[in-house]
């Protein structure tokens, strides 16, 4: 069980300040999910009780239950009657993830990966456009906070890859489309880490990605939905080109 000093990621005070602007229930959901995906909470571990979480995050128990229900829907948490909530032993391999895996098995070569990337681009671009149209300054600060975490992980390519995926998942979650969020939480960890393993061999790659993510944040902060969508689409299509170049053994272009 998590202690009173539970903290998913240690980072600088200004990032903590940014994150505190997000609603407590959203922080609870994100903290627990990040702890599970970063293996701070491992399969089979028991989650803190509702009363503890409600007190720690200063929210109602129904709000805690709502956050836990979202984690269950994503296949990350399961309930045991009379015992509590536990990290799923299959680490979130929900029926959706199983369907995506079956799709990849039935397709030859890289066809499935390309199709999943097309789905990712379609959904993420909708999410970033929707977010840009809202005057959600707290959400934009949260993305800047995640961008800061990426910068801190810049020299650790494995940690940077996870922080990169977390940025995209946060963007999707902040758009508040639960269906798209569920789909992308099932999709991104698998294809995202596949991309990272193939392309994060170049020490310059994190700097390129940070520059592209910064541009996305700038369009969001300006409320420019079309610019944010274009920037994100360009980022993801560029990422796909880097993946293809890495698979073919070609140098990646700047």
pLDDT score recorded for residue 24? 77
Would residue 124 count as lying in a domain?
A: yes
pLDDT for 201 equals 64
Could you state, in chain order, the average pLDDT of each consecutive group of 10 residues for the chain (254 residues)? 45 42 76 80 89 91 88 80 82 57 61 81 94 79 90 86 88 86 77 64 81 94 93 91 73 54
Token pair of 46 as six digits: 């028991």
Contact between residue 31 and residue 142 where contact means Cβ atoms under 8 Å apart? no
Counted residue by residue, the chain has a size of 254
Quick one: 208 and 155 in the same domain? yes
Residue 82 sits in the same domain as residue 128: no
What phi, psi does 78 have (nearest 5°)?
Answer: -130, 155
- Tell which residue, 47, 39, 40, has the closest CA to residue 193: 39
Greatest pairwise CA separation for the chain in angstroms: 56
Q: Does a structural domain hold residue 254?
A: no
Q: Which domain holds residue 231?
A: 95-248
- Residue 200 pLDDT: 64
Q: What DSSP line would sit under 156-171, residue for residue? A: -HHHHHHHHHHHHHHH
Measure the CA–CA gap between 207 and 217, rounded to whole angstroms. 15
Residues 117 and 161 in one domain: yes
Query: What per-residue confidence (pLDDT) applies to 49?
Result: 92
pLDDT at position 194, please?
64
Which of 66, 87, 108 marks a domain boundary?
Answer: 87
In this structure, are 83 and 99 located in the same domain?
A: no
**Any idea what the CATH number is for the domain that residue 106 is in?**
1.20.120.530
Domain boundary among 56, 87, 118: 87
Question: In the chain, how many domains are there?
Answer: 2
CATH code: domain of residue 67: 1.10.10.10
pLDDT at 79: 83
Helix (H, G, I), strand (E, B) or coil at 175: coil
Residue 7 lies in a domain: no
**228 shares a domain with 164:** yes
Task: List, in sequence order, every beta strand (DSSP E) within the chain.
Answer: 77-80, 84-87
pLDDT for res 196: 63
Same-domain check for residues 19 and 139? no
Radius of gyration of the chain (CA): 18
With the C-alpha atoms ordered 159, 161, 162, 168, is the resulting torsion angle positive or negative?
Answer: positive
Together in a domain, 64 and 126: no
Q: Domain check: are 222 and 116 in the same one?
A: yes
Are both 232 and 132 inside the same structural domain? yes
| Residues 126 and 149 both lie in one domain | yes
Among the candidates 87, 119, 146, a domain finishes at 87
Kindly state whether residue 5 falls inside one of the protein's structural domains.
Answer: no
């Amino acid at each position: 069980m998590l202690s009173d000093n539970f903290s998913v990621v240690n980072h600088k005070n200004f990032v903590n300040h940014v994150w505190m602007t997000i609603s407590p229930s959203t922080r609870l959901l994100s903290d627990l999910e990040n702890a599970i995906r970063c293996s701070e909470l491992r399969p089979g571990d028991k989650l803190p009780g509702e009363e503890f979480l409600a007190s720690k995050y200063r929210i109602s128990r129904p709000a805690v239950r709502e956050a836990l229900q979202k984690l269950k829907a994503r296949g990350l948490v399961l309930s045991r009657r009379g015992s509590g909530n536990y990290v799923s032993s299959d680490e979130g391999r929900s029926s959706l993830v199983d369907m995506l895996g079956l799709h990849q098995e039935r397709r030859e070569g890289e066809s499935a990966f390309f199709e999943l990337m097309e789905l990712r681009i379609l959904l993420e671009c909708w999410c970033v456009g929707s977010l840009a149209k809202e005057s959600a300054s707290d959400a934009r600060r949260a993305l800047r906070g995640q961008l800061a975490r990426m910068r801190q992980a810049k020299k650790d390519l494995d940690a940077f890859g996870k922080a990169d995926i977390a940025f995209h998942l946060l963007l999707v979650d902040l758009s508040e489309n639960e269906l798209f969020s569920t789909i992308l939480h099932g999709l991104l960890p698998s294809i995202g880490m596949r991309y990272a393993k193939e392309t994060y061999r170049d020490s310059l790659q994190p700097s390129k990605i940070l520059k592209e993510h910064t541009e996305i944040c700038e369009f969001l902060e300006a409320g420019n939905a079309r610019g944010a969508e274009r920037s994100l689409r360009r980022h993801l299509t560029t990422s796909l080109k880097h993946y293809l170049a890495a698979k073919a053994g070609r140098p990646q272009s700047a």
